Copies of this chain bind each other. A is one copy, B any other.
Amino acid sequence: MSKKATIYDIAKELNITAATVSRALNNNPKISEKTRELVLATATKLNYKQNRLALALKSGKSKNVGVVVPFINKNFFASVIRGIEDELYPKGFHVIISQTYEDTTREKKIIQNLLNAQVDGILLSTAFTEQNKEEFRESLKKNTPFILFDRVLRFKEISTVTIDDYQGGFKATEHLILQGCKRIAHFDVDQSIELYKHRFKGYKDALAKYNLPYRHEYVISLKSNMEAGKDAAEKLMNLPIPPDAIFSSTDNGLLGAVKYLQSQSVRIPEDLRVVGFSNEPFTQFMEPSISSVDQSPLEMGKMAAQVFLEQIENDSMDKVQSNVVLPAKLIVRKSSSK
C-alpha cells in the first residue's frame, strides 16, 4: 500500500509488459487506443506517479538547475531567484539553491556538488574576482551550461546577464550635478569586481562631461555595511572642503552614512544630497526617502532563466553565448531633490 507504484505494478495488473505501459503513458503512437485507456485507468487507480529520478538517470537530464548566490536572504538575490523560479517552474524544472557566503573555496565545492547531482545548468553570481579568475575558470570546464549574473566574470562561451552598471553610475552622478551639486563624493566597494568598476567609471565620466574636477579624496572604498558607511561619512565631513553630495555604490553603506549625518544635524537633501545603488526596500520608507539605482532583480532572474533555456535548446551544437545587459533605472526620491 505504502510503496509507490511503478510501471511494473500496472503492467502486472494488466498482464502486459512494462514497455507497453511506458508507451501508453508517453503518448507513443504505436499503441492501441484500448490498451492506452486501460493503462491510464489502472495508473490512476494505483495512484501511479512517474519517478523523475529514474527518468533523469535514463535520459541524462535531471530537470534540475542550480542557483548559486552569496546569501539568499538578501532582497536582491531573493528577487533574482524569484524571477528564475517564476520562469523555470512552468518548464518543469526544479530550482536548487546554494549559498557561497562569498567564500570562493565553498563556491567551488558547491559547483562540484551541483555537477555531481547532474543539474542541467548552473546560474550563479560569483564570489570570485579578477584576481582569481583563472581558478574559477576550472570549475566551468564542463558540458553543463553556466549562466553568470550580476557579479560576473567574462569568458568566451559563458553567457552573462547584468545591468548596465556604467549607465547607472553615470545617471546617478549626472542627476546630482543637474541638481546643482558641485562636490560629489563616491562610495566604492571593490575595484576588482567588474560592476563596481563600471559604476565608478560612470561617476568619473559624468563629472568629466560637466567639467567638474575629480578629487581622489572624495572617493572612499568601503565594505557594504552601515558601520563602514558611518566611518566613511565621518571622514568626508572632516575634510577641509566637505562634499555636497554622495553617490554610493552600496545602499547599505549609504544607510550608515545617512544615519550618521542626521545625528550630526546635516540636513538631507538641503545640505547634502545622496543617491544609492540597488534600490533596497528600506530606501523607499526612510525619512527622507533615498534615491537609488534599481537593478531590476526580477527581470535579471527571468533573463538568466531564458538564456539558460536557449542554451539547452540548440542541441549541444554551437554553444551560443549571450551577454544580456539590462538598463539601470534611477529612482529619484527626496534625498536628492528639492
A residues in contact (CB < 8 Å) with B: 2, 49-54, 56-57, 62, 64, 71-75, 78-79, 81-82, 85-86, 89, 94-99, 112-118, 143, 255, 259, 281-282, 284-287, 297-298
Contact = CB atoms under 8 A, between A and B. Distances in A.
A307 B118 CA distance: 28
A49 B112 contact: yes
A6 to B, nearest CB: 12
Contact of A51 (B113, B116, B259): B116
DSSP majority for the A interface? helix
Contacts of A56: 53
Which of A57, A74, A285 neighbours the largest number of chain B CB atoms within 10 Å of its CB?
A: A285
Contacts of A117: 52-53, 64, 94
Contact of A285 (B50, B53, B75, B255): B255
A53 B113 CA distance: 12
21 contacts: A49-B112, A49-B115, A50-B116, A52-B118, A53-B57, A53-B62, A72-B72, A72-B81, A72-B82, A73-B75, A73-B81, A73-B82, A78-B78, A85-B98, A85-B99, A94-B96, A94-B98, A94-B114, A95-B96, A259-B285, A285-B286
Given A72-B82, A255-B285, 11 more contacts: A49-B115, A50-B116, A51-B116, A51-B118, A52-B116, A54-B57, A64-B96, A71-B82, A75-B281, A259-B285, A286-B287
Please tell me how many copies of the chain the complex holds: 2
Nearest to A55: B116
Contacts of A86: 99
Contacts of A82: 71-73, 99
A284 B284 CA distance: 13
Contacts of A79: 73
Contacts of A53: 53, 56-57, 62, 117-118
Nearest to A316: B2
Contacts of A115: 49
